[in-house]
Amino acid sequence: MNIIHVGLLGCGTVGTGVARILMEKEPLISDRVGAVIRLKTVADIDLEKDRGIRFENGMLTKNAFQVVCDPEIDIVIEMIGGEGVAKDLILKAIEHKKPVVTANKALLANHGNALFKAAAQNGVDLAFEASVCGCMPVIKTIRESLVGNRIQSMIGILNGTCNYILSKITNDGSVFEAALAEAQAKGFAEADPTLDVEGHDTAHKLAILSALAYGMEINLPDIYVEGISRITPMDIDFARQFGYTVKLLAISKSLGNAVEARIHPTMIPFENLLSSVNGSVNALTITGDAVGDMMLYGYGAGMMPTASAVISDVVDLARNRISGASRGRIPMLSYQPGRIRKIPIVPIKEIDTHYYFRFAALDQPGVLSKISGVLGNYGISIKSVHQKGRKTNGSVPVVMLSHLAREEYVIKALSEISSLDVVSDTPVLIRIEDEAGQD
Ligand code: HSE
Protein backbone atom coordinates (compact mmCIF):
# COMPACT_ATOMS: atom_id res chain seq x y z
CA MET A 1 0.00 0.00 0.00
CA ASN A 2 1.12 3.54 -0.77
CA ILE A 3 2.59 5.36 2.25
CA ILE A 4 2.27 9.13 2.47
CA HIS A 5 4.57 10.77 4.98
CA VAL A 6 3.48 13.76 6.99
CA GLY A 7 5.55 16.30 8.93
CA LEU A 8 3.89 18.21 11.77
CA LEU A 9 5.21 21.62 12.80
CA GLY A 10 4.03 22.63 16.27
CA CYS A 11 2.69 20.19 18.83
CA GLY A 12 0.61 22.42 21.07
CA THR A 13 -3.09 21.85 21.74
CA VAL A 14 -4.31 21.33 18.18
CA GLY A 15 -1.03 19.82 16.99
CA THR A 16 -1.34 17.18 19.70
CA GLY A 17 -4.89 16.42 18.55
CA VAL A 18 -3.64 16.04 14.98
CA ALA A 19 -0.83 13.70 16.05
CA ARG A 20 -3.29 11.67 18.09
CA ILE A 21 -5.71 11.17 15.19
CA LEU A 22 -2.93 10.36 12.72
CA MET A 23 -1.32 7.82 15.05
CA GLU A 24 -4.36 6.25 16.70
CA LYS A 25 -6.54 6.13 13.59
CA GLU A 26 -3.98 5.23 10.94
CA PRO A 27 -5.82 1.96 10.09
CA LEU A 28 -9.24 3.68 9.92
CA ILE A 29 -7.89 6.41 7.66
CA SER A 30 -6.08 3.95 5.42
CA ASP A 31 -9.31 1.92 5.05
CA ARG A 32 -10.94 5.09 3.76
CA VAL A 33 -8.10 6.52 1.70
CA GLY A 34 -6.53 3.38 0.27
CA ALA A 35 -3.09 4.51 1.40
CA VAL A 36 -1.31 4.81 4.71
CA ILE A 37 -0.95 8.36 5.98
CA ARG A 38 1.95 8.19 8.38
CA LEU A 39 3.14 10.86 10.78
CA LYS A 40 6.90 10.79 10.24
CA THR A 41 8.25 13.79 12.15
CA VAL A 42 6.96 16.25 14.71
CA ALA A 43 8.79 19.54 15.29
CA ASP A 44 8.30 21.54 18.46
CA ILE A 45 10.43 23.68 20.75
CA ASP A 46 9.39 21.56 23.76
CA LEU A 47 10.49 17.94 23.42
CA GLU A 48 9.98 17.07 27.09
CA LYS A 49 6.29 17.82 27.58
CA ASP A 50 4.02 14.85 28.23
CA ARG A 51 1.39 14.97 25.50
CA GLY A 52 -0.12 11.60 26.31
CA ILE A 53 1.27 10.20 23.05
CA ARG A 54 4.07 7.68 22.59
CA PHE A 55 6.30 9.12 19.89
CA GLU A 56 8.84 6.65 18.55
CA ASN A 57 12.53 7.42 18.80
CA GLY A 58 13.61 9.99 16.28
CA MET A 59 10.11 11.28 15.58
CA LEU A 60 10.51 14.46 17.62
CA THR A 61 12.82 17.29 16.60
CA LYS A 62 13.37 20.93 17.39
CA ASN A 63 14.38 21.66 13.81
CA ALA A 64 11.23 22.56 11.90
CA PHE A 65 13.19 23.74 8.86
CA GLN A 66 14.72 20.29 8.53
CA VAL A 67 11.20 18.84 8.37
CA VAL A 68 10.05 21.09 5.53
CA CYS A 69 13.23 20.29 3.58
CA ASP A 70 13.07 16.51 4.21
CA PRO A 71 12.64 14.85 0.78
CA GLU A 72 10.68 12.00 2.39
CA ILE A 73 7.96 14.31 3.75
CA ASP A 74 5.02 14.52 1.34
CA ILE A 75 2.69 16.83 3.29
CA VAL A 76 3.52 19.53 5.87
CA ILE A 77 1.09 20.55 8.62
CA GLU A 78 1.74 23.99 10.15
CA MET A 79 0.28 24.26 13.69
CA ILE A 80 2.67 26.86 15.13
CA GLY A 81 0.43 29.89 14.65
CA GLY A 82 1.37 33.55 14.43
CA GLU A 83 2.79 35.45 11.51
CA GLY A 84 6.53 34.98 12.05
CA VAL A 85 8.27 31.64 11.77
CA ALA A 86 5.03 29.96 10.67
CA LYS A 87 5.03 32.06 7.51
CA ASP A 88 8.71 31.36 6.80
CA LEU A 89 8.16 27.62 7.24
CA ILE A 90 5.11 27.56 4.98
CA LEU A 91 7.02 29.42 2.27
CA LYS A 92 9.97 27.07 2.65
CA ALA A 93 7.72 24.02 2.37
CA ILE A 94 6.05 25.49 -0.72
CA GLU A 95 9.47 26.20 -2.21
CA HIS A 96 10.28 22.51 -1.67
CA LYS A 97 7.07 21.65 -3.59
CA LYS A 98 5.27 20.29 -0.54
CA PRO A 99 1.56 20.87 -0.05
CA VAL A 100 0.79 22.50 3.30
CA VAL A 101 -2.12 22.33 5.74
CA THR A 102 -2.59 25.23 8.14
CA ALA A 103 -5.17 26.45 10.66
CA ASN A 104 -3.50 29.84 10.86
CA LYS A 105 -6.30 32.32 10.19
CA ALA A 106 -4.35 35.41 11.27
CA LEU A 107 -1.59 34.53 8.83
CA LEU A 108 -4.01 33.86 5.96
CA ALA A 109 -6.07 36.98 6.65
CA ASN A 110 -2.96 39.16 6.67
CA HIS A 111 -0.72 37.45 4.12
CA GLY A 112 -2.99 34.97 2.35
CA ASN A 113 -2.93 36.65 -1.08
CA ALA A 114 0.87 36.28 -1.27
CA LEU A 115 0.90 32.78 0.24
CA PHE A 116 -1.71 31.39 -2.14
CA LYS A 117 0.15 32.98 -5.06
CA ALA A 118 3.41 31.37 -3.94
CA ALA A 119 1.68 28.00 -3.62
CA ALA A 120 0.18 28.26 -7.11
CA GLN A 121 3.52 29.30 -8.61
CA ASN A 122 5.19 26.29 -7.03
CA GLY A 123 2.48 23.89 -8.11
CA VAL A 124 1.26 22.90 -4.63
CA ASP A 125 -1.91 23.40 -2.61
CA LEU A 126 -2.26 25.30 0.66
CA ALA A 127 -5.21 23.83 2.58
CA PHE A 128 -6.92 25.69 5.44
CA GLU A 129 -10.24 24.12 6.49
CA ALA A 130 -9.34 24.40 10.19
CA SER A 131 -8.65 28.13 9.94
CA VAL A 132 -12.35 29.03 10.14
CA CYS A 133 -14.83 27.60 12.64
CA GLY A 134 -12.80 24.58 13.79
CA CYS A 135 -14.61 21.38 12.97
CA MET A 136 -17.32 22.93 10.80
CA PRO A 137 -16.63 22.23 7.10
CA VAL A 138 -17.23 25.84 6.06
CA ILE A 139 -14.42 26.09 3.53
CA LYS A 140 -15.40 22.88 1.76
CA THR A 141 -19.08 23.83 1.84
CA ILE A 142 -18.55 27.21 0.20
CA ARG A 143 -15.86 26.09 -2.21
CA GLU A 144 -17.24 22.72 -3.24
CA SER A 145 -20.77 21.96 -2.10
CA LEU A 146 -22.16 25.37 -3.07
CA VAL A 147 -20.21 25.70 -6.33
CA GLY A 148 -23.48 26.09 -8.28
CA ASN A 149 -24.65 29.03 -6.18
CA ARG A 150 -24.09 32.73 -6.16
CA ILE A 151 -23.51 33.32 -2.48
CA GLN A 152 -25.70 36.23 -1.42
CA SER A 153 -24.80 36.53 2.22
CA MET A 154 -23.09 34.89 5.19
CA ILE A 155 -24.02 35.77 8.74
CA GLY A 156 -22.40 33.94 11.59
CA ILE A 157 -21.09 33.53 15.08
CA LEU A 158 -17.44 32.80 14.37
CA ASN A 159 -15.83 33.27 17.76
CA GLY A 160 -16.55 30.81 20.55
CA THR A 161 -15.02 32.98 23.26
CA CYS A 162 -17.30 35.94 22.52
CA ASN A 163 -20.34 33.73 22.21
CA TYR A 164 -19.48 32.04 25.49
CA ILE A 165 -19.12 35.41 27.23
CA LEU A 166 -22.34 36.86 25.78
CA SER A 167 -24.25 33.66 26.59
CA LYS A 168 -22.98 33.73 30.16
CA ILE A 169 -24.01 37.38 30.62
CA THR A 170 -27.39 36.73 28.97
CA ASN A 171 -28.31 33.47 30.67
CA ASP A 172 -26.49 33.54 34.01
CA GLY A 173 -26.04 37.27 34.62
CA SER A 174 -22.24 36.78 34.81
CA VAL A 175 -19.96 39.76 34.61
CA PHE A 176 -17.75 40.11 31.53
CA GLU A 177 -14.41 39.50 33.27
CA ALA A 178 -15.55 36.29 34.98
CA ALA A 179 -17.00 34.90 31.75
CA LEU A 180 -13.76 35.68 29.88
CA ALA A 181 -11.67 33.98 32.58
CA GLU A 182 -13.86 30.87 32.26
CA ALA A 183 -13.47 30.86 28.47
CA GLN A 184 -9.69 31.09 28.88
CA ALA A 185 -9.68 28.26 31.41
CA LYS A 186 -11.65 26.08 28.98
CA GLY A 187 -8.94 26.64 26.38
CA PHE A 188 -10.77 28.17 23.44
CA ALA A 189 -9.73 31.79 23.92
CA GLU A 190 -6.74 33.08 21.95
CA ALA A 191 -3.47 33.58 23.85
CA ASP A 192 -4.18 37.31 23.58
CA PRO A 193 -7.89 37.64 24.47
CA THR A 194 -8.18 41.07 22.86
CA LEU A 195 -8.08 39.26 19.50
CA ASP A 196 -11.30 37.53 20.58
CA VAL A 197 -13.21 40.18 22.50
CA GLU A 198 -12.34 43.07 20.19
CA GLY A 199 -13.55 41.10 17.18
CA HIS A 200 -10.26 40.66 15.31
CA ASP A 201 -10.32 36.85 15.35
CA THR A 202 -13.81 37.01 13.84
CA ALA A 203 -12.55 39.47 11.21
CA HIS A 204 -9.72 37.11 10.22
CA LYS A 205 -12.29 34.42 9.58
CA LEU A 206 -14.71 36.68 7.71
CA ALA A 207 -11.89 37.93 5.45
CA ILE A 208 -11.18 34.33 4.43
CA LEU A 209 -14.85 33.38 3.97
CA SER A 210 -15.66 36.50 1.93
CA ALA A 211 -12.78 35.79 -0.45
CA LEU A 212 -14.06 32.26 -1.01
CA ALA A 213 -17.71 33.22 -1.36
CA TYR A 214 -17.40 36.18 -3.71
CA GLY A 215 -14.17 35.55 -5.63
CA MET A 216 -12.44 38.56 -4.11
CA GLU A 217 -8.91 39.08 -2.84
CA ILE A 218 -8.55 38.66 0.91
CA ASN A 219 -9.15 42.13 2.33
CA LEU A 220 -8.82 42.32 6.10
CA PRO A 221 -8.07 46.05 6.52
CA ASP A 222 -11.40 47.20 5.05
CA ILE A 223 -13.58 45.02 7.28
CA TYR A 224 -15.28 47.08 10.00
CA VAL A 225 -14.51 45.57 13.42
CA GLU A 226 -16.16 46.31 16.76
CA GLY A 227 -15.90 43.92 19.71
CA ILE A 228 -18.01 43.09 22.73
CA SER A 229 -16.03 44.75 25.52
CA ARG A 230 -18.49 47.65 25.81
CA ILE A 231 -21.64 45.49 25.93
CA THR A 232 -23.34 45.85 29.30
CA PRO A 233 -25.85 43.60 31.07
CA MET A 234 -28.26 46.57 30.90
CA ASP A 235 -28.25 46.54 27.08
CA ILE A 236 -28.61 42.77 26.99
CA ASP A 237 -31.58 43.15 29.32
CA PHE A 238 -33.22 45.82 27.17
CA ALA A 239 -32.59 43.68 24.08
CA ARG A 240 -34.45 40.80 25.74
CA GLN A 241 -37.43 43.04 26.47
CA PHE A 242 -37.63 43.91 22.75
CA GLY A 243 -37.40 40.24 21.76
CA TYR A 244 -33.75 40.37 20.76
CA THR A 245 -30.56 38.55 21.73
CA VAL A 246 -27.14 40.22 21.47
CA LYS A 247 -24.52 38.27 19.48
CA LEU A 248 -21.15 39.19 18.02
CA LEU A 249 -21.97 38.65 14.36
CA ALA A 250 -19.82 38.46 11.27
CA ILE A 251 -22.00 39.90 8.51
CA SER A 252 -21.10 39.70 4.86
CA LYS A 253 -23.40 40.48 1.93
CA SER A 254 -22.80 40.55 -1.78
CA LEU A 255 -24.01 43.77 -3.42
CA GLY A 256 -22.80 42.81 -6.92
CA ASN A 257 -19.79 45.04 -7.47
CA ALA A 258 -19.21 45.61 -3.76
CA VAL A 259 -19.45 43.66 -0.56
CA GLU A 260 -20.59 44.47 2.97
CA ALA A 261 -18.24 42.91 5.52
CA ARG A 262 -18.54 43.92 9.15
CA ILE A 263 -18.12 42.55 12.66
CA HIS A 264 -20.06 44.06 15.55
CA PRO A 265 -22.38 43.21 18.42
CA THR A 266 -25.80 42.79 16.87
CA MET A 267 -29.34 42.41 18.15
CA ILE A 268 -31.20 39.58 16.44
CA PRO A 269 -34.77 38.43 17.03
CA PHE A 270 -35.38 35.34 19.17
CA GLU A 271 -36.80 33.60 16.04
CA ASN A 272 -33.44 33.84 14.24
CA LEU A 273 -31.73 30.45 14.70
CA LEU A 274 -28.45 32.20 15.54
CA SER A 275 -30.16 33.59 18.63
CA SER A 276 -30.30 30.07 20.13
CA VAL A 277 -26.62 29.33 19.51
CA ASN A 278 -25.24 29.39 23.03
CA GLY A 279 -21.86 28.76 24.61
CA SER A 280 -18.58 28.24 22.83
CA VAL A 281 -20.02 26.90 19.60
CA ASN A 282 -19.97 28.61 16.20
CA ALA A 283 -22.72 28.80 13.61
CA LEU A 284 -22.86 30.20 10.10
CA THR A 285 -25.92 30.93 7.98
CA ILE A 286 -25.11 30.96 4.27
CA THR A 287 -27.64 32.20 1.73
CA GLY A 288 -27.17 31.09 -1.86
CA ASP A 289 -29.39 31.74 -4.86
CA ALA A 290 -30.02 28.02 -5.39
CA VAL A 291 -29.96 26.62 -1.84
CA GLY A 292 -31.72 29.48 -0.07
CA ASP A 293 -30.73 29.65 3.59
CA MET A 294 -28.57 26.93 5.11
CA MET A 295 -26.74 26.69 8.38
CA LEU A 296 -23.61 25.04 9.77
CA TYR A 297 -23.19 24.56 13.51
CA GLY A 298 -20.45 23.05 15.67
CA TYR A 299 -17.35 23.54 17.76
CA GLY A 300 -15.20 26.33 16.37
CA ALA A 301 -12.21 25.64 18.57
CA GLY A 302 -10.63 23.04 20.81
CA MET A 303 -8.11 20.25 20.36
CA MET A 304 -10.06 17.46 18.70
CA PRO A 305 -12.70 19.44 16.72
CA THR A 306 -9.98 21.56 15.11
CA ALA A 307 -7.72 18.54 14.57
CA SER A 308 -10.63 16.83 12.81
CA ALA A 309 -10.69 19.64 10.22
CA VAL A 310 -6.90 19.49 9.80
CA ILE A 311 -7.10 15.77 9.07
CA SER A 312 -9.78 16.34 6.40
CA ASP A 313 -7.29 18.60 4.59
CA VAL A 314 -4.45 16.10 4.98
CA VAL A 315 -6.64 13.40 3.47
CA ASP A 316 -7.67 15.67 0.56
CA LEU A 317 -4.01 16.35 -0.22
CA ALA A 318 -3.15 12.67 0.11
CA ARG A 319 -5.98 11.72 -2.23
CA ASN A 320 -4.76 14.29 -4.76
CA ARG A 321 -1.35 12.71 -4.62
CA ILE A 322 -2.71 9.19 -5.00
CA SER A 323 -4.82 10.18 -8.00
CA GLY A 324 -1.92 12.00 -9.64
CA ALA A 325 -3.54 15.45 -9.36
CA SER A 326 -0.71 17.03 -7.43
CA ARG A 327 -2.54 20.34 -7.01
CA GLY A 328 -5.21 22.67 -8.22
CA ARG A 329 -7.99 20.14 -8.83
CA ILE A 330 -10.09 22.41 -6.65
CA PRO A 331 -8.93 26.03 -6.67
CA MET A 332 -7.64 26.92 -3.22
CA LEU A 333 -9.69 30.11 -2.97
CA SER A 334 -12.72 28.66 -4.73
CA TYR A 335 -12.28 30.71 -7.93
CA GLN A 336 -9.65 30.21 -10.62
CA PRO A 337 -6.72 32.48 -9.73
CA GLY A 338 -7.22 34.62 -12.85
CA ARG A 339 -10.88 35.21 -11.88
CA ILE A 340 -10.21 36.58 -8.41
CA ARG A 341 -11.00 40.31 -8.36
CA LYS A 342 -10.47 43.24 -6.04
CA ILE A 343 -14.05 43.79 -4.89
CA PRO A 344 -14.45 46.85 -2.65
CA ILE A 345 -15.89 46.54 0.84
CA VAL A 346 -18.48 49.22 1.51
CA PRO A 347 -17.30 51.63 4.26
CA ILE A 348 -19.37 51.28 7.44
CA LYS A 349 -20.67 54.84 7.14
CA GLU A 350 -22.47 53.85 3.93
CA ILE A 351 -24.35 50.96 5.56
CA ASP A 352 -28.12 51.18 6.06
CA THR A 353 -29.45 49.21 8.99
CA HIS A 354 -31.67 49.39 12.10
CA TYR A 355 -30.37 50.68 15.40
CA TYR A 356 -30.84 50.46 19.13
CA PHE A 357 -29.82 53.63 20.96
CA ARG A 358 -29.53 54.13 24.70
CA PHE A 359 -29.13 57.61 26.14
CA ALA A 360 -28.51 58.54 29.74
CA ALA A 361 -30.91 61.49 29.92
CA LEU A 362 -32.21 63.83 32.60
CA ASP A 363 -35.73 62.89 33.66
CA GLN A 364 -37.37 66.23 32.87
CA PRO A 365 -39.86 67.73 30.38
CA GLY A 366 -38.63 68.32 26.82
CA VAL A 367 -35.72 65.89 26.89
CA LEU A 368 -37.25 63.41 24.48
CA SER A 369 -38.13 66.10 21.98
CA LYS A 370 -34.56 67.45 22.06
CA ILE A 371 -33.11 63.99 21.33
CA SER A 372 -35.66 63.04 18.71
CA GLY A 373 -35.31 66.51 17.19
CA VAL A 374 -31.62 65.89 16.45
CA LEU A 375 -32.36 62.43 15.08
CA GLY A 376 -35.13 63.94 12.91
CA ASN A 377 -32.75 66.59 11.55
CA TYR A 378 -30.56 63.77 10.23
CA GLY A 379 -33.53 61.94 8.71
CA ILE A 380 -33.45 59.16 11.32
CA SER A 381 -36.94 57.87 11.99
CA ILE A 382 -37.77 56.37 15.40
CA LYS A 383 -39.75 53.13 15.53
CA SER A 384 -40.20 53.00 19.31
CA VAL A 385 -39.13 54.84 22.45
CA HIS A 386 -38.91 53.43 25.95
CA GLN A 387 -37.95 55.09 29.15
CA LYS A 388 -37.42 52.35 31.66
CA GLY A 389 -35.64 51.77 34.89
CA ARG A 390 -34.78 53.94 37.84
CA LYS A 391 -32.99 57.21 37.96
CA THR A 392 -29.24 56.64 38.58
CA ASN A 393 -26.85 59.56 39.09
CA GLY A 394 -29.63 61.92 38.11
CA SER A 395 -30.33 60.33 34.73
CA VAL A 396 -32.58 57.62 33.32
CA PRO A 397 -31.94 55.29 30.41
CA VAL A 398 -33.93 56.32 27.34
CA VAL A 399 -33.96 53.60 24.72
CA MET A 400 -34.95 54.06 21.07
CA LEU A 401 -35.19 51.67 18.15
CA SER A 402 -34.83 53.21 14.70
CA HIS A 403 -36.22 52.44 11.29
CA LEU A 404 -33.66 51.86 8.55
CA ALA A 405 -31.01 54.57 8.80
CA ARG A 406 -27.66 55.45 7.23
CA GLU A 407 -24.72 54.92 9.60
CA GLU A 408 -23.03 58.18 8.60
CA TYR A 409 -26.04 60.23 9.79
CA VAL A 410 -26.46 58.09 12.89
CA ILE A 411 -22.89 58.82 13.97
CA LYS A 412 -23.31 62.56 13.34
CA ALA A 413 -26.62 62.62 15.21
CA LEU A 414 -25.24 60.74 18.22
CA SER A 415 -22.26 63.05 18.41
CA GLU A 416 -24.61 66.06 18.48
CA ILE A 417 -26.88 64.39 21.04
CA SER A 418 -23.98 63.59 23.34
CA SER A 419 -23.21 67.30 23.58
CA LEU A 420 -26.78 68.20 24.66
CA ASP A 421 -26.92 69.44 28.26
CA VAL A 422 -29.74 66.98 29.05
CA VAL A 423 -27.63 63.96 28.14
CA SER A 424 -24.85 62.54 30.29
CA ASP A 425 -22.47 59.80 29.12
CA THR A 426 -21.74 58.70 25.57
CA PRO A 427 -24.84 57.29 23.84
CA VAL A 428 -24.84 53.53 23.21
CA LEU A 429 -25.46 52.20 19.71
CA ILE A 430 -26.10 48.56 18.80
CA ARG A 431 -27.03 47.58 15.26
CA ILE A 432 -30.06 45.34 14.69
CA GLU A 433 -30.33 42.61 12.05
CA ASP A 434 -34.06 41.95 11.75
CA GLU A 435 -35.40 40.78 8.42
CA ALA A 436 -38.99 41.08 9.58
CA GLY A 437 -38.42 44.75 10.34
CA GLN A 438 -36.87 45.85 7.02
CA ASP A 439 -38.32 49.35 6.84
N1 HSE B 1 -10.32 31.99 19.93
C2 HSE B 1 -11.11 31.38 18.93
C3 HSE B 1 -12.54 31.30 19.42
C4 HSE B 1 -10.55 30.01 18.62
O5 HSE B 1 -12.80 31.61 20.59
O6 HSE B 1 -13.41 30.97 18.65
C7 HSE B 1 -10.65 29.55 17.24
O8 HSE B 1 -10.43 30.52 16.29
Atom of ligand 1 nearest to the CA of 190: 1
Q: How far apart are CA 120 and CA 247, in angstroms?
A: 38
CA 381, 385, 391, 392 torsion-angle sign: negative
CA-CA distance, 80 to 69, in Å (whole number)? Answer: 17
131 lines ligand 1 (CB under 6 A): no
Measure the CA–CA gap between 347 and 262, rounded to whole angstroms: 9
pLDDT of residue 98: 96
Q: What phi, psi does 325 have (nearest 5°)?
A: -90, 90
Q: What is the pLDDT of residues 182-191, one digit of tens each?
A: 888 888 787 7
Enumerate domains of the chain plus CATH numbers.
3-135+303-338 (3.40.50.720), 138-299 (3.30.360.10), 352-437 (3.30.70.260)
Query: Could you please report the per-residue DSSP string of 334-351?
Result: SS-GGG-B--PBPPGGG-
How many angstroms is it from 284 CA to the middle of ligand 1?
14
The active-site residue, picked from 40, 98, 205, 253, is 205
pLDDT at 71 over 90: yes
How sure is the predictor about 419, in pLDDT bands with cuts at 50, 70 and 90? very high
The residue whose CA is least distant from atom 8 of ligand 1 is 301
Query: Is the CB of residue 343 below 6 angstroms from any atom belonging to ligand 1?
Result: no
Indicate if ligand 1 lies below 6 Å from the C-beta of 14: no
**Which whole-number Å values give the CA distances from 265 to 78, 268, 316, in the listed order?**
32, 10, 36
For residue 382, is pLDDT > 90? yes
pLDDT band per the 50, 70, 90 thresholds, residue 96: very high
For 30-117, list the strands marked E by DSSP: 36-43, 60-61, 75-78, 100-102
Using CA atoms, how far apart are residues 370 and 376, in angstroms rounded to an integer? 10
Instruction: Using pLDDT thresholds of 50, 70 and 90, give the confidence band for residue 389.
Output: low
Which pLDDT band holds residue 437 (cuts at 50, 70, 90)? low
Asked whether 300 lines ligand 1 (CB < 6 A), one says yes
**Residue 228 CA to ligand 1 centre (angstroms):** 14
Contacts of 302 (CB under 8 A, 6+ apart): 13, 134, 187, 188, 280
β-strands 244-254, 259-269 pairing: antiparallel
Determine whether the shortest distance from the Cβ of 86 to ligand 1 is under 6 A. Answer: no
Angle at alpha carbon of residue 159, lines to 299 and 272, rounded to 5°: 85
What sign for the dihedral angle of Cα 192, 78, 147, 212?
positive
From residue 217, alpha-carbon distances to 114, 128, 235, 322 in Å are 10, 16, 36, 31
The string of pLDDT tens digits covering residues 182-229 is 888 888 787 788 999 999 999 999 999 999 999 999 999 999 999 999
Report whether 250 contacts 235 (CB < 8 A): no
Nearest CA to ligand 1 atom 7: 301
The Å distance, Cα 280 to ligand 1 centre, comes to 9
Q: Which atom of ligand 1 is nearest to the CA of 161?
A: 5
Q: Residue 438: its pLDDT value, please? A: 56
State yes or no: is 342 an active-site residue: no
User: What's the rounded Cα separation, in Å, for the pair 43 and 334?
Assistant: 31
Which of these ranges, 363-367, 402-406, 429-433, has the smallest mean pLDDT?
363-367
Q: Is the CB of 78 under 6 A from ligand 1?
A: no
Q: Determine contact, residues 15/53, Cβ cutoff 8 Å.
A: no
